[in-house]
Amino acid sequence: MVHVYNCHPFASQHIVSTEQEPGLVCCGGGALFVVCGCRIEAYDVRQDGCPLICRFSSVSSVRSIRHSGAGDYLVTIEEKNGAMYLRAYTNWRYQAVEKTRVGVRLLGHLLRGASFRGAPKEQMEIIEIPLFEPPLCMACCPLTGDLLVGCAKSLVVFSLKHQKLSEQLSLLDFERVLILHVQGLSPSQVAFCAGFVALQTELEVLVVKLTQQQKNTPDTGHHHVLLPDDIITDAASDEDAEMKKDGFSPLHEQEDFFMFPKHQEMLGSEAQDCGTSFLLEWTGIEVERSEDMSICYVLYRRFAPDFFQGCSVEETHLHSLQLHPMFTVTQEESIISKGEEPTCMFVFFSLPNTGYMYSLKDSVELVSTYQYPEKTHQAVLSNQFLYVITRNALQCFTVRCSAVAARVNDPYIDTTMKACPPITMEVCALRIQLFIGLKAVCHDGNHIVLLTAADVDNREDVERPARKNTSRKTSVCKSTEPTDSGHGWNLYVITCVSTLQLYQEIVEYSKRYEQSSPLSQSCVHLLSEAHLLLRSALLTQQDYEPHLQQAFQESCAHLADCFSRLDKKDCHLALPYYNISGLSVTDVVQRNMAMCNFSSGYGRGFLFYLKHSLYEGTVEELNEGMANKVLEIFSVAEPTELPHVVSNPSMLRANPDCAMTHLRQLDISGTSSITLSLSIASLALRKGDLHTYRQQMDRHAEMLQVYGFLEEPKLLLHGRGKAVVPTVLAQHLRDTQEGLLVAAVVALHENRQIRLEEADFFFQELCKDEIQRAPQLLLDFWEALLVASANESIIQELLFHLVSVYIDRLTCRDLSGVKALKTADDLINSCCHYGMLYPWVSILTPVQFGIAHDQQDLHKLQSLLCGPTLEVSSILPLLEKLSDRDNTGLSVHVLCATKLGQHEGSINKLLERCPQAIISYAKHELQNEKLCLWWQKLFPELCERIRRTGNDTTILSALRDVLAVVAIELNPLEFLDLLPDDGTAQFFLPHLLECSQRNLLM
């Protein structure tokens, strides 16, 4: 359904005084071209009164005319003696200063060697463009000025060339660069823009794109394979088979009846099955480029005649094919001129009673369908409107170009921060203006040109059926044709109003619906149309009113007001529109309070906006009055949300007594919860009421209170990132219940409500008065998180932090009075990343009852090194700060070296510094493939040290333990070879005897 409103997009209209009845009209470049037989007149539509620019004669009778903005030239299809000719008229503006000199030449004549003699002359050029087939239609690319000519069996592409003759004078010419031989379709109308080619027959539309493939790129199936000459006949037979398959029988096969083809729509690569094929013949100078050129099928649409729309089969055919590009301000003119593709590309075509607009960039989709109230003759598309003419009316419809472009420019536009009316929103007719005998329409910038031709004597008979068929919502305006006109034709130039003026009128018009029905969908629809008008102007910068951005924000506020009062599924749109409007929360609350109907309460959209803004922390700090007002709103509309609202940082200035009263009423009503108790306790702390605080905190166990903090993290912290700030409740828990505080922050992290960096900043800010580099509470948090987390990347980061702090504390040794929440034994028993200490480590650093704080840090560090998770290579730079001169540092260094497989160096260090631990170390570490180190490394080292030190009882005892192992693992000969030559037989004899006995038993 198409809504019809009575707005006024047309500001004024002027009648162009032409001496003869126009046959054809077209416009472009600020000029209107009127064809009268063999004469072409140009008028300036940008000046009042549309003065004549110039007039000149064509070579023969003009049957079709087009203007190209790029190159500012005219191209015509002319007829003489039954033959059709294609001609281009360049430098036509020289005729305005009575430069009667006209040059006629063939296509490409100058580019192929001809030269001027003497100084170049200023003259209009008529370029004869020869073709193998008679031209049927043509189109100019608005971006490059290239020309596309449609013939019965082919499409010919001509490239626009610029040749500079002097600093003031340049010459335009064309080069035929490509011929597309078409099989299966003969176009009646074509369109050409940015490589897109659209073809139209009476009931078919095909859109393809000329694409430049990269070399050595495999065919993906999306690009049509170029057909050789011998396949064309096969394609024709395949087409006949396809036509029969779809229900189309040629007339010569079915002489008694004719079966029309059925409706069909093919989008994207599916369109290559439409039965139309192309053969590309490259004729330009750069012939090698043809190997990289291919056809990409974009859209195919076929219609069947509709007998139920008030028109005969002969009248049912397509018209007004148009490719419409849309550039946005992000693309500079310099880039556009170099061939940059537009942001969006649309194609429009129309049946007499229905129009269709598709978006072609990225994905192909039907954007809008236009249902006309009566049969149409012609239509033109612009960025903001679709102009359609019927027999007696000019209709102005809205379009969705800006909605498509907005989403192409910003894929995240449909979020809680941004919004735009949907592409699928129904179109509307802003105006239906009556005229008599409309024949043609064209569009240029801010101007519409209409050609009318009617019998003056029967004017009333002509107007009567037009009024009968007009909708009741249509605004009927009398034609402004002069009554004393002696002819039945007129040429109108209609000026459109500025975007800002039309926007203001639509807003005023929407207020009528608002007054009659505040929640009317028509009001939202009108405001959405106004919003899209402004968005289109901002995207394309077609209007330069200084207040355009201000009006855009105002339109967002109007839309947000509508959605804030709605109770439908789209009420959530109040949030993004209010965000775009730039209004503060205070402004929004005041607007909605003024609009609020207390009998019906507050709208869902307004409450959604208020809750989302408060919970996301995007609200400025409210003053006391406004904060109290927000509390009152939620106490009436959604009282269960009060604990979350009170905890919000923007509500810090709210009266604590007022907030406590609302929370008490909620508690009394029987909706008590853990979060409510924590909120009351937090308010009691702010008031200094410790009795109420303890009473509320004692109502729930600590584990349940952790769940309460999960429901509302703002009870503990405000802000995000480095700006995180602990609350009063968090500061109190730091001094009284640090275990609850740490557990709550760990739960917040594990539920992705706070990042690790934010938690670090939180504890550092909470303990900023401590002189330590890493506060103990932060260390407790890292240890607790290491127990709870399963994220490998988080675990490695925590391990590095913990090792760094442990080593730092062992180096400083100034931690008197610091007590951790968990001891080393607690962590070993509860966390898999902490391992039991190796026996030899306990010999190096004996663990005693009542370990001091620095010994706890050493115990934890050793336990991490004994655990399975820590990557020792990542902490090697940290070991540089820890000396190995005492057993504390020695144990850490040996643990790290052993983890890295450096057992021989570790043996040397232990023999040198703590030989009593060597056997324990060997028994624990020298296993499996390291077993050979007992006799290859450890036994020779012990023997050598006995020689140097004498009878050291510790080393002798260690040697006996080594010999006990060696005697078991080696056979007697190997054992004898191992013994030193200067050894005492009495010392080694028992071990040799044991080795021999074991060998005999085996």
Identify each DSSP E strand in 186-234 by its residue range. 189-193, 196-200, 204-212, 223-224
pLDDT at 123: 81
Top-ranked range on mean pLDDT: pick from 86-100, 217-231, 540-554, 653-667: 653-667
Q: Please indicate, yes or no, whether the overall pTM of this predicted structure exceeds 0.85.
A: no
- On the question of pLDDT at 653 being above 60, the answer is yes
CA distances in angstroms from 696 to 125, 144, 639, 701, 778, listed in the order given: 93, 76, 19, 11, 27
**Nearest CA among 512, 451, 366 for reference residue 35:** 451
- Using N-to-C axis directions, what is the helix angle for 756-766 and 738-750, rounded to 10°? 160
pLDDT (tens digit per residue) in 228-272: 343 334 444 444 444 444 444 443 444 555 566 778 899 988 988
Both structure tokens of 359: 């978006």
pLDDT score for 714: 93
Asked if pLDDT for residue 948 goes beyond 80, the answer is no
Give the model's pLDDT for residue 740: 95
Determine what percent of the chain is predicted with pLDDT higher than 90: 46
Predicted pLDDT at 931: 81
Compute, in degrees rounded to 10, the torsion defined by CA atoms 821, 826, 831, 834: 100
Q: Given a cut of 90, is residue 941 above it in pLDDT?
A: no
pLDDT at 520 over 90: no
Q: Residue 31 pLDDT more than 90?
A: yes
pLDDT of residue 188: 94
281 has pLDDT over 90:
no
Among 588, 368, 560, smallest CA distance to 552 is for 560
Please give the pLDDT value at position 689: 92
pLDDT at 216 over 70: no
Confidence category of residue 984, pLDDT binned at 50, 70, 90: low
- Mean pLDDT in residue range 448-453: 92
| pLDDT above 80 for 394 | yes
Q: Which pLDDT value is given to residue 853?
A: 59
Whole-number pLDDT of residue 191 = 96
**Confidence band of 643 (pLDDT split at 50, 70, 90):** very high
Per residue in 484-512, pLDDT (tens digit) is 444 678 899 999 999 999 999 999 988 88
Count of residues making up the chain: 1002
- Whether 515 shows a pLDDT value over 90: the answer reads no
| pLDDT confidence bin for 606, thresholds 50/70/90 | very high
Average pLDDT, the chain: 82
* CA distance linking residue 623 with residue 308, whole number of Å: 65
Residue 339, pLDDT above cutoff 70: no
**What confidence tens digit (pLDDT) does each residue in 728-760 have?**
999 999 999 999 999 999 999 999 999 999 999
Cα Rg, the chain, nearest whole Å: 44
Higher-confidence position of 948 and 588: 588
Q: How far apart are CA 260 and CA 243, in angstroms?
A: 10
pLDDT attached to residue 260:
62
Confidence (pLDDT) at 813: 67
How many helices and strands (H and E) does the chain possess? Answer: 32, 35
Confidence of residue 299 (pLDDT cuts 50, 70, 90): very high
pLDDT of residue 903: 85
Average pLDDT of 554-569? 88
Question: How high is the pLDDT of residue 283?
Answer: 84
Model confidence at 711: pLDDT above 70: yes
pLDDT at 955: 74
- Is the pLDDT at 221 greater than 70? The verdict is no
> What span, in angstroms and rounded, lies between the C-alpha atoms of 436 and 456?
9
Give the pair of three-digit tokens for residue 240.
Answer: 């006949």
Query: Which has more confidence, 976 or 397?
Result: 397
Listing DSSP states for 919-953 in one string gives: HHHHHHHS-GGGTTHIIIIIHHHHHHHHHHH-S-H
Instruction: Looking at mean pLDDT, say which of 156-170, 444-458, 617-631, 806-820 comes out highest.
Output: 617-631
Residue 544: pLDDT band (50, 70, 90) is: low
Contact present, 271 and 179 (Cβ < 8 Å): no
Distance from C-alpha of 352 to C-alpha of 642, rounded to nearest angstrom: 60
Q: Please compute the mean of the pLDDT values over residues 463-480 and round it to a whole number.
A: 38
pLDDT of 167 reads 66
Distance, in Å, from the CA atom of 799 to the CA atom of 95, rounded to the nearest integer, reads 85
Distance from C-alpha of 384 to C-alpha of 687, rounded to nearest angstrom: 59
The pLDDT value given to residue 166: 67
What percent of the chain clears pLDDT 70, i.e. is strictly above it? 80
